[in-house]
A and B are shown apart, each in its own frame.
Chain A
Amino acid sequence: MRTIRIGAGAGYSGDRIEPAVELAERGRLDYLVFECLAERTIALAQQARQKDPDAGFDSLLAERFNAVLRPCVANKVAIITNMGAANPIGAARAAAGIARDMGISGLKIAAVSGDDVTHAMRRRDLPLIETQGRLADIAGRIVSANAYLGAEPIVAALAGGADVVITGRVSDPALFLAPLVHEFHWAWDDWDRLGKGTVVGHLLECAGQITGGYFADPGYKDVPDLARLGFPLAEVREDGAAVIGKLPGTGGTVSVQTCKEQLLYELHDPARYYQPDVVADFSKVQFDQVGPDRVAVSGGTGRPRPDALKVTIGYCDGYVGEGQFSYAGAGALARARLALEIVAERLRLTGVVTTELRLDIIGVDSVHRGALVGSGPEPQEARIRMIGRTATLKDAVRIGNEVETLWLNGPAGGGGAWKSAREVIAAVSTLIPRFEVEARVTYEVT
């Protein structure tokens, strides 16, 4: 039975570069996939594109392509990535320019667009997922709206002969499902195999998170050589059975435990993982260690795809201002608490209006709250953090400024003032009928 080898070259936009180069050079891959688009990234990219029509795609695209394009072309490894962000066509043009500069001719680069539904969403009033609100509440503040496309336009691009496929918003597992559908000619209603392919995509989409990254807990779960963590590759058979592994000589570990953690990562009901192409069912998935750093995955399945597509909307949501300051030695905690009281009182006295204000002591209660805060020995150092949500940038700036005045006006022995103020681009989601979204594929050839 035929087997396709797919590697994961990045699990987020800022991910390490060399593990992808290793995979491209000696992974004997058919495909190398880079997942680089977080929930809010596309809104920030849309803002960049408004300032410069040629911008709006991943800022590391050039660095990644410069690193992997040569070995990928030499070893006939196709690249699939969502680095197109808010401008897949611009990204494809940029990638073609990089290829030409390298003297690579005949490279076919596809851009998948059509996920951008910003104009349509500005005129709609739909209920938002996960909040009580409606789209109309934020209509005037919408920066971006992108539907999660599925694997279909990527498959169309591969069928069109693309060596590189660059998308905007696409469901992350679909980046991996697409080459499987293309190579094995899986039917779009073969829900069982689409479910199995989605399991593989979900396991790989965070790259190093399945090869021992984000796993180590010294004494409980030890992982070797995380500084040289290898990224994963999957060997997937025509029937959807797969083995997850990594390259010999790289750091990390692929075990049943790392696979279990990643299977359940960002998952709600394991029997209903909603994707554009299928409702995948992870509830019967099993893992077996079949060799060193090799884990077989089986038991995934799926049911008919949903009629709606998820749309993530980025919108301007006011400002936040923040300040931090440290205390150390005996009485550090008491001085930190006094400092927080002082700044809170200063915000009241000077009329800084916040709709939400959070007071933390880092190392004591910045993650733990209420009853979760232990009563252990007093810390030798304490860093205060005050952060507030405001309607204006001016008020946000004043929060950090008030923390900073602790230098000359606060308790004894503080140091390390730090402050920031920024506009918030928040993300919410809604659902729209899939027929309202039309994906397009265009090509650049070098």
Chain B
Amino acid sequence: MKLRELAHARAGDKGNVSNISVIAHEVGDYAFLAEHVTAARVQAHFADIVKGAVERYELPALGALNFVLHEALGGGVTRSLSLDPHGKSLSSCLLELEIPDRQERRGPP
């Protein structure tokens, strides 16, 4: 299944660094997300876009993960040649990530 079935996301930019929050629709899915949506998996997912390291911060009380993607924005919004120089649409790209099926929960809450 796609990450989109369990979580929503928003991307922000600071210089050449993108951050993407991944927030469980249901806080109860947080542990499952934390297990399967690792920094390494996000790094591999964005291998052709993100040139630097990927860090992950955990916010269990919010049921959320925050990914910080370095060298991700073609130099940053002020000099990137990308059609989406802020990289805002990367949030939706991340929700395309394949995660193991979680039969008891599908679709929006």
Q: Is the CB of A367 within 8 A of B79?
A: no
Flag A249-263 by CB within 8 Å of B: 1 or 0 each: 000000001001111
Asked if A52 is at the interface of the complex by the 8 Å CB criterion, the answer is no
A265-B89 in contact (CB<8A): no
Check if B64 sits within 8 Å of A370, measured CB to CB: no
In the complex, what residues of B have CB within 8 A of residue A284's CB?
Answer: 61
On chain B, the residues within 8 Å of A358 by CB distance are 81-82
Q: Which of B57, B81, B90 sits near A388, CB closer than 8 Å?
A: B81
Indicate if A117 sits at the interface (CB-CB under 8 A). Answer: no
The contact sample of 5 A-B pairs, CB cut-off 8 A, is A260-B63, A260-B64, A267-B12, A268-B66, A385-B83
Residues from chain A with Cβ under 8 Å of B23 in the complex: 257, 260-261, 264
Residues of chain B within 8 A (CB-CB) of A424 are: 78-79
A372 touches B (CB below 8 Å): yes
The reply to whether A266 and B12 form a contact with Cβ atoms under 8 Å apart is: yes
Check A130–B17 contact: CB distance below 8 A. yes
Contact among A39, A221, A264 for B78, CB-based, below 8 A? A39
Whether, in the assembled complex, A286 has its beta carbon less than 8 Å from a beta carbon of chain B, the answer is yes
Q: Number of A residues contacting the other chain (C-beta, 8 Å)?
A: 54
User: Chain B residues near A63 (CB, 8 Å)?
Assistant: none
Contacts of B107 in A (CB 8 A): 220
Q: Give the shortest distance, in Å, between B95 (CB) and chain A (any CB).
A: 9
User: Measuring CB to CB, which residues of chain A are less than 8 angstroms from any residue of chain B?
Assistant: 39-40, 129-131, 214-215, 217, 219-221, 257, 260-271, 283-287, 299, 314, 317, 320, 356, 358, 360, 362, 366-372, 385, 387-389, 424-429
A372 and B62 form a contact (CB under 8 A): no
- What B residues does A257 contact at CB under 8 A? 8, 23, 25
Q: Residue B93 contacts which of A220, A287, A360, A367 (CB distance < 8 angstroms)?
A: A367
Q: Which residue of B lies closest to A40 (CB)?
A: B78
A-B pairs, top 7 by smallest CB distance, nearest first, are A370-B48, A266-B12, A264-B21, A130-B15, A369-B48, A426-B79, A261-B10
Q: How many Å lie between the Cα of A362 and that of B63 in the bound state?
A: 34
- Contacting B62 at CB < 8 Å: which of A40, A263, A360? A263
Q: A264-B59, A320-B81 are in contact. List 8 more A-B contacts (CB 8 A).
A: A257-B25, A260-B21, A263-B62, A267-B12, A285-B61, A366-B82, A370-B47, A389-B79
Report whether B108 and A220 are in contact in the complex, using a CB–CB cutoff of 8 Å.
yes
B87 smallest CB distance to A (angstroms): 9
Q: Which residues of the partner chain A approach B49 to less than 8 Å between Cβ atoms?
A: 369-370, 372
- Contact with A367, one of B63, B78, B84 (Cβ below 8 angstroms): B84
